[in-house]
Structure 1
Amino acid sequence: MADYSSRWDKRGQRPVRIANCSGARGDPGYQMRRQAELGDVDFITGDYLAEMNIADNAAAYHQGKHPGYDPNALQGFRESIDLIARKRIKVIINGGSLNPAGLAEECRKLAIERQLDLKIAFISGDDLYEQIKSDIDSTRVIPAHLDSGNPQVSIKAVVRDFARDPAASSIVSANAYLGARGIVKGLENGADIIICGRVADASPVIGAAWFWHSWSDQDYDNLAHALIAGHLIECCSYITGANYAAFYEVDPEVLIDLPFPIVEIGNDGAAVVCKHANTKGLITVDTVKCQFLYELQGNLYLNSDVTAVLDNVRIESIGTDRVLMTGVRGQPPSPTTKLAIFFQGGFQSQILLNATGYATAEKWAIYEKQIRFGLQKSCVLDDFSCLEFQVVGVNEANPKSQLRSTTYCRIFAQAVSEKPLNMLLKTIQEYGMQHFSGFHLSFDLRTGFPLPFNQYYPALVVQTELKETVNFLGKDGQIYSSIDGGHPPRYQKLGRRDSYETALVADLEIFGPTKRARLGDIVLARSGDKGANLNIGLFVRDADTWPWLQSFMTCARMKALIGDDWCEELFLERVEFKNLHAVHFVIYGILGTGVSSSTRLDSLGKGFADYIRDKVVGIPMKFLKSITVTAVHT
């Protein structure tokens, strides 16, 4: 049996191996066990939270009807805690959600039950629910919006309305994104398991590397590398083959039951992304580039402890399933950090209806007119804050089956009260027998009943106002020590984000004759959400094609490719990552109000990259000749 007793005596003498066991709620507990049992790691980290996770359970938690923490995280400890103790692996996860103390207590009970000598701690200081409610109640003012520093960014009307007339009673949750300082204090004082609430996604990885290598809080380049290393593995299988733009080039068997990743971070911050040996999936330069470009906000990546400058980042293969990331610079953090506030947004519903075949566009046009007529007659049409008739899909020419001739209409509605939504359902039933030819339903209309939803308001909070604390539980379940995480020693005020066209614009004619082809035939991409905003990074695989992508993918080009989804209310930023042969855009406001209240079918923006890659454009023939297109064209 391997001897793990010397692991922590030799920390800092080699790169630290940090495994990830979760990228979102729903990731099963056995992934924690697999990371512990399939090979040797020093830390296991997990990211169980997204913006909507906390808000979804907040009301039930405040009413005592929900434990507040992620149940899959607890299941992970049930399956893994014996192995974690034996192999002396330290675990840092944000699965504590609204109640990190509660999950820490469950871990303490497990350790006592199984006679394990483990020191368990939890991080507090992120939950500002009561404070924000009190502040709003007394001042009727809410914190500044995350994008308020850019006057060109439009903040949606429903958010502006809340800002004009805030109600403390409508607040559901308010959580600040903490850094890694409390985590480091916990590790320095012997913690084996640290349960976090809303720390930033990459903070557990930063904390593990910071502690392992005994960095100072002003080793900004090292901390910045750890920040981006955490970003690379925080979404678990998104870097081992999931959500991968070129999945069609990979044997499907390799993509079934994907492993979760590991990152090895050296004393200089350089990070190698890898996975356990003899597992499925793949880690290549392209899978790492895709994940690097996911959910960025430009060439700066912000965290409470450090700002990462990404202009010169490098990603290169150093062996099978081993990819090195270097070239990140670090700067002091911003004096503010993100504060995710959710408030009651009202009620929403969606109804799905189908149309088959001939004259589809005309069918949906007359149907929308009919329903709006009925709502006007009932005097509720003006009571909707949102009423959209979204036609999804295009019926195939000369279809080979009825399904290929069918589209559906997604009627999406929101209102302050339930009444307009109930009248919408009643109106659809009222005119149910006056439908167009080819109309049919997939299921009954009970799905159209209104449900309450939470509205997301991304705000800013001053870091010095936060009290990030690590709390240690004794064997009796009482807190025997609470240590203040402190604050960064320096801050750097942020200016406007960089946005620019390429400085080396080339005449597209110099690349030779073109052929109409899909952009995705030579360009890979990844997209995702940042609240109301959406990011997309596009890259090519070789240096010869890079000057063409730089010159071709301008802001004007992106707006044209967005097509009917572009409107002048939106705002676009563009930067480049030259070493990655990548162009990156942020589209402000395209997801509406974002998260759980977005009206878009693709509310998290994950499908946007493949939408853009599906566009037919003029591509130089010499680049098309140099590749083999393996995606199925339909």
Structure 2
Amino acid sequence: MRRQAEQGNVDFITGDYLAEVNIAENAEAMTAGKHLGWEQTAWDGIEQTIDLLAQKNIKVILNGGALNPKGLAEKVQQLVNDRGYSLKVAYIEGDNLLPLIKDQIKSGLFDHLDSANKEIMQPRNSQALLDTVSKPVVSANAYLGAREIVKALELGSDIVIAGRVADASPVIGAAWYWWSWKETDYDNLAGALIAGHLIECSGYVTGSNFAGFYEHPLDCLIDIPFGIAEVSSNGDCVITKHENTKGIVTVDTVKTQFLYELQGNVYLNSDVKAYLDDVRIEAVGENRIRLWGIRGAPPPPTTKLAIFYRGGFQSELVINATGYATAEKWELWERMLRYGLRKNGLHDEFDLLEFQIIGTPQENPRTQLASTTYMRIFAEASRPELNLALAKTMSEFAMQHFSGLHSTNNMATAMPRPYLAYYPALFKQDDLNCTVSVLAPDMRVESTPIGHPVEYQDLELRSSYDTASPVDLSNFGATQFARIGDVCLARSGDKGPNLNFGIFVRNSEEWDWLRSFLSLARMKELLGEDWRADYFLERVEFQHIWAVHFVIYGILGRGVSSSSRLDSFGKGFADFFRDKWVDVPVKFLERARFVGGKRKEPL
């Protein structure tokens, strides 16, 4: 925050401090008086930056108030008083629905976020939320939009502290207020929504988590700045960064961040629906990338409600195998442990028990490490005794192991640890009761209730299709078996139980190949053993940025902290997929600058 204020001129600093699980992890600690409820780094930023905010007339909007926006606002107001500034501090409440949900859940389950599509199977154990005795709800926060933020700014606030407003809402609120938009200026609001989406994730748009990082000097990607969105009066934006800073803002970094954590071609917010099909991205200067073409529509009548509850206990056992006959070793060890659990009548008592093999031993290995893989035995159970029984079973058979079994000395992960399970629900916007409260220097509060959107548009089924007018792949000439990542960049992430994946190329000829090649059926084929019949796959295209986008529903289990996947947030999927070998047109490979992440030697 301080760097954004001191390294150049900005009008607003916005901050998204909340991943899905932040609030839940602190909820019980706050109830027990062991946590203040707000994000410490939000306070750190304001404390470091307060002088610059006053000197440069910069407004701050952030959701770091988390469970206790009032508490953080009061602390900030005291800081303002101590420094002798006249800055106004406001806080937003109404997202925390825990008391209401605890009562309502006894009457039945809230509709799941993906319930509109009957072809999508609900995640395993999703009904566990109904067991409110052994699996009590610990947090329930609705995702708010920007109207509360706009009202706070209209009331003269300089620092606006919210709880669970959606990630992009601070940027929407800033642009909405700055340009005096009406709440029905949906195209403008939709553009600001995507501007917020582009800069919400710290340095993701300036070089972090970037698939093509190896094409740039590595030193420029260390200690990078965060992105800046210049939002125009019509909602179009230019993404940039402060001058003379590290990092990169290119067409490719903006495309990859645009594709991050989407759920198809419609992006939802409590104030607006953004249609993404016609998005366009172009360079308009060094480290200046323009994005436009977003269309808006009235918001849906519901918003997302993130419910977290005590899921039970998790544990992991990790062991290693080296070299010869590795596959057979893992088969023996899994059979042995399952036998031991069945012998003691415990095998079917686990909520989840998976034997995951990580890695492939190198052929003719140059080192022992290159020959070594490991098995991750992941367990979820309602009682900690079951997790302990798994560790005990492994101990029981410890001297009946395959040849060369070894492990680290740290067995802490084998101990049962409580975990929070996630249920993304739908909640009616008209049932929300939100307020904006402005603090006076003496801590008196003036609160203003905030109404609801003036109109709604029902959620439609998300689009999914193969390409129109596919090109015969033979038209692209001779092919060579090569990594798809040699000609494509990509980004992946999570949306609760679902994984999103966007992949794109850099010119129109390659686009005709990608859209024709990467069909729904081909995607399932390339997923290989990671594809299961109970998953659901969606596919859309963003033709103007040469990108194909997929959502794999259900692959992350219940998602977030209750996912059993090693890559539980789906961030590694894009690089896994780019390492797939397929038939790539030779002419594409000839003009590729990098192969396998390494620059090609000059001819």
TM-score by length of 1: 0.93
- Whole-angstrom CA distance in 1 between matches of 2:121 and 2:302: 21
Q: Deviations over 1:20-52 (max 9, x none)?
A: xxxxxxxxxxxx100100000000001110111
1:549 to 488, 491, 514: 514
Q: Deviations over 1:482-528 (max 9, x none)?
A: 11221111100012111111112111111111000000000110000
- Secondary structure, counterpart of 2:481 in structure 1: strand
Provide the residue aligned with 1:414 in structure 2: 380
Q: CA deviation at 1:368?
A: 1.0
2:562 to 597, 600, 624: 597
Indicate yes or no: 2:109 matched with 1:151. Answer: no
Equivalent residues of 1:301, 1:307 under 8 A apart: yes
- Whole-angstrom CA distance in 2 between matches of 1:169 and 1:576: 41
**1:512 partner amino acid:** G
**1:399 partner amino acid:** P
1:435 to 380, 397, 401: 401
1:271 to 237, 243, 259: 237
Indicate yes or no: 2:6 matched with 1:37. Answer: yes
Equivalent residues of 1:145, 1:460 under 8 A apart: yes
Equivalent residues of 1:121, 1:195 under 8 A apart: yes
- Whole-angstrom CA distance in 1 between matches of 2:151 and 2:597: 52
2:360 to 394, 405, 409: 394
- Secondary structure, counterpart of 1:618 in structure 2: strand
Provide the residue aligned with 2:109 in structure 1: 142
Check 1:200–1:71 CA distance in 2 against 1; reply closer, same or farther (3 A cut).
Answer: same
**1:78 partner amino acid:** E
Equivalent residues of 1:531, 1:593 under 8 A apart: yes
**2:123 partner amino acid:** K
Q: Where do residues 199-598 of structure 1 align in structure 2 (5 Å cutoff)?
A: 199-479=165-445, 481-598=446-563
Q: CA deviation at 1:122?
A: 0.5
Higher mean Cα deviation, 174-183 or 154-163? Answer: 154-163
Provide the residue aligned with 1:100 in structure 2: 69
- Secondary structure, counterpart of 2:308 in structure 1: strand
Higher mean Cα deviation, 57-66 or 587-596? Answer: 57-66
Q: CA deviation at 1:157?
A: 3.1
- Whole-angstrom CA distance in 1 between matches of 2:595 and 2:585: 18
Higher mean Cα deviation, 152-161 or 518-527? Answer: 152-161
TM-score by length of 2: 0.98
Provide the residue aligned with 1:122 in structure 2: 91
**2:220 partner amino acid:** V
Check 1:133–1:169 CA distance in 2 against 1; reply closer, same or farther (3 A cut).
Answer: farther
Equivalent residues of 1:425, 1:445 under 8 A apart: no
- Secondary structure, counterpart of 2:564 in structure 1: coil
- Whole-angstrom CA distance in 2 between matches of 1:407 and 1:446: 20
- Whole-angstrom CA distance in 2 between matches of 1:266 and 1:197: 27
- Secondary structure, counterpart of 1:236 in structure 2: coil
- Secondary structure, counterpart of 1:440 in structure 2: coil
- Whole-angstrom CA distance in 2 between matches of 1:161 and 1:583: 35
2:80 to 111, 124, 139: 111
**1:134 partner amino acid:** D
- Whole-angstrom CA distance in 2 between matches of 1:234 and 1:261: 9
Q: CA deviation at 1:578?
A: 0.4
Q: Deviations over 1:362-395 (max 9, x none)?
A: 1111111111122122221111111111010011
**2:55 partner amino acid:** R
- Whole-angstrom CA distance in 2 between matches of 1:568 and 1:383: 24
Q: Deviations over 1:519-571 (max 9, x none)?
A: 00001100000000000011000111111111001000110111101011000
Provide the residue aligned with 1:26 in structure 2: none
Q: CA deviation at 1:633?
A: 6.8
- Secondary structure, counterpart of 2:393 in structure 1: helix
Q: Deviations over 1:79-103 (max 9, x none)?
A: 1111111111000011111111111
- Secondary structure, counterpart of 1:544 in structure 2: helix
- Whole-angstrom CA distance in 2 between matches of 1:33 and 1:240: 17
Identity rate, percent:
57
Equivalent residues of 2:128, 2:135 under 8 A apart: no
Equivalent residues of 1:133, 1:169 under 8 A apart: no
Equivalent residues of 2:135, 2:312 under 8 A apart: no
Q: CA deviation at 1:168?
A: 9.3
- Whole-angstrom CA distance in 2 between matches of 1:268 and 1:446: 54
Task: Give unmatched runs, 5+ long, in structure 1.
Answer: 1-31
Task: Give unmatched runs, 5+ long, in structure 2.
Answer: none
Q: CA deviation at 1:270?
A: 1.2
Check 1:169–1:377 CA distance in 2 against 1; reply closer, same or farther (3 A cut).
Answer: closer
**1:301 partner amino acid:** Y
Equivalent residues of 1:136, 1:168 under 8 A apart: no
Q: CA deviation at 1:421?
A: 0.3
Provide the residue aligned with 1:608 in structure 2: 573
Q: Deviations over 1:216-273 (max 9, x none)?
A: 0000000000000000000121110011111110100111111101010111111000
- Whole-angstrom CA distance in 1 between matches of 2:339 and 2:256: 47
Aligned residues: 599
- Whole-angstrom CA distance in 2 between matches of 1:230 and 1:243: 17
- Secondary structure, counterpart of 1:198 in structure 2: coil
